[in-house]
Amino acid sequence: MMILGIETSCDETAAAVVEDGTRVLSSITATSAGLHARTGGVIPEQAARKQIQSIIPVIELALKEAFASPTTNTRQLTSIIDAIAVTTGPGLIGSLLVGVETAKTLSHLWNVPIIPVNHLLAHIYANWLTVKNLPKFPTLALVVSGGHTDLVLMENHKKIEWIGGTRDDAAGEAFDKTARLLGLPYPGGPSLAKLADEYIAKHSHKKLNLFPRPMIDDVNFDWSFSGLKTAALRKMSELAEEKKFKLSDYQEISSHTKVIKNKSMLAAEIQEAIVDSLMEKSVRAIKKYNVESFLLAGGVAANKRLREKFISRMTSESLNVDFRVPTPALCTDNAAYIASRAYFDQRKIDWRAVITNPELIITDKP
């Protein structure tokens, strides 16, 4: 079954063609991140306007790449595409509508059904795209993205139970907000991770335990990341006072070596606090639920330290679970996992019945 996936929930415009939910024939992603770098965050109106410009060229490119054809001739395509998968939520309303309205139009034109997709749940399906032997159920999946942190237990593709999640900021949000405090460029997560990894490479034996890991001893599978911003700000003020430089030096590209050193040390400490919190609760959940596999997903799963620490912990504790994490490119937003989830859901509907819902939660039917 050939599915065209469309994803426009945040600042990416993506289209992909995936066969039988696992074989990626093409995956094209255009991002307006460069535009948002100037303002330090996504401006929804600007993101949506860019997506209106990009959506058709991105879909055309995805189709051409998949079928090596210079044409997007309607008649040929209707015979090749069996369904259009589109993200209907959660996300920014203006952005979601660009994808959904385009999908509806193509569905009507080509006379193919739509499969609506929940973006959060779909992130997990990046794990169905990377390897030959597919993940086995039951599985625990941790979705760590820019706006959400959710741990779910999946008995199969349909039976999904929410086990825990963040009480306040998402893991990606914690990366982004603390990166902003340190004056690092947008998008904050990868910028902070880069600085942190440079510090770790130079100070491999240093224990990183400056910041608290809230809720780590609680017997639930919940997280809290909002305190990290305050803790980081307090530490920055303390260091600034001790070393006699201004707090605002952190925001400037300063040549002050003490500030630079502090920045990378703080980045490493912040990253470690987030990584340890995610890992501890996940390991506890693996021990409690007798699952075959553990799947990491979402933009934050691209984090090198997180991936490495999970793998070494699985080995050191001899946890009998098949640990999976997609390639970094498949962790961040793309349309391939949207098409994959659609294949395993198969809820084909008429375009007139498609509803956009920016507030969807991970266990909601889209």
What is the footprint of ligand KG4 within residues 137-176 (CB under 6 A)?
145-147, 172, 175-176
User: From the CB of 297, what's the least distance to Zn ion, in Å?
Assistant: 9
CA-closest candidate to residue 185, choices 34, 305, 50: 34
User: From the CB of 10, what's the least distance to ligand KG4, in Å?
Assistant: 6
* Between 118 and 145, CB nearer to Zn ion: 145
User: From the CB of 90, what's the least distance to ligand KG4, in Å?
Assistant: 9
* Between 262 and 332, CB nearer to ligand KG4: 332
* Between 60 and 280, CB nearer to ligand KG4: 280
How is residue 348 annotated by DSSP?
-
What is the footprint of Zn ion within residues 16-45 (CB under 5 A)?
none
Q: Could you say which of Zn ion, ligand KG4, none residue 54 binds, taking C-beta under 5 to 8 angstroms by partner kind?
A: none
Mask: binding to ligand KG4, 281-310, rule CB under 6 A, as x and -?
-----------------xxx-xx-------
CA-closest candidate to residue 170, choices 197, 193, 189: 189
* Between 147 and 249, CB nearer to ligand KG4: 147
- Rounded to whole angstroms, the Cα distance separating 143 from 300 reads 8
Residue 332 binds ligand KG4, judged by CB under 6 A: yes
Cβ–Cβ under 8 Å, residues 302 and 171:
no
| Residue 162, SS3 per DSSP | strand
* Between 164 and 188, CB nearer to ligand KG4: 188
Site size with ligand KG4, rule: CB under 6 A: 19
Return the structure tokens found at 28: 């094209």
Cβ–Cβ under 8 Å, residues 4 and 327:
no
Q: Could you say which of Zn ion, ligand KG4, none residue 188 binds, taking C-beta under 5 to 8 angstroms by partner kind?
A: ligand KG4
CA distances from 44 to 7, 8, 49, 142, 145 (A): 15, 12, 9, 27, 17
User: From the CB of 186, what's the least distance to ligand KG4, in Å?
Assistant: 9
- Of the candidates 193, 215, 296, 338, which one interacts with ligand KG4 according to CB under 6 A? 193
Mask: binding to Zn ion, 94-133, rule CB under 5 A, as x and -?
----------------------------------------
CA-closest candidate to residue 285, choices 241, 191, 226, 219: 219
User: From the CB of 351, what's the least distance to ligand KG4, in Å?
Assistant: 25
* Between 47 and 195, CB nearer to Zn ion: 47
- Of the candidates 21, 164, 190, 326, which one interacts with ligand KG4 according to CB under 6 A? 190
Residue 189 binds ligand KG4, judged by CB under 6 A: yes
Q: Could you say which of Zn ion, ligand KG4, none residue 302 binds, taking C-beta under 5 to 8 angstroms by partner kind?
A: ligand KG4
CA-closest candidate to residue 66, choices 23, 119, 113: 23
What is the footprint of Zn ion within residues 324-353 (CB under 5 A)?
333
Return the structure tokens found at 213: 């890991």
Cβ–Cβ under 8 Å, residues 298 and 172:
yes
Cβ–Cβ under 8 Å, residues 84 and 114:
yes
What is the footprint of Zn ion within residues 127-156 (CB under 5 A)?
145
- In angstroms, how far is CA 261 from the centroid of its own chain? 29
Question: What are the two backbone dihedrals, phi and then psi, of residue 349, each rounded to the nearest 5 degrees?
Answer: -135, 165
| DSSP string for residues in 36-104 | HHTTTS--HHHHHHHHHHHHHHHHHHHHHHHHT-S---HHHHHHH--EEEEEEESS-HHHHHHHHHHHH
Binding site for Zn ion (CB under 5 A): 145, 333
Binding site for ligand KG4 (CB under 6 A): 10, 145-147, 172, 175-176, 187-190, 193, 298-300, 302-303, 332-333
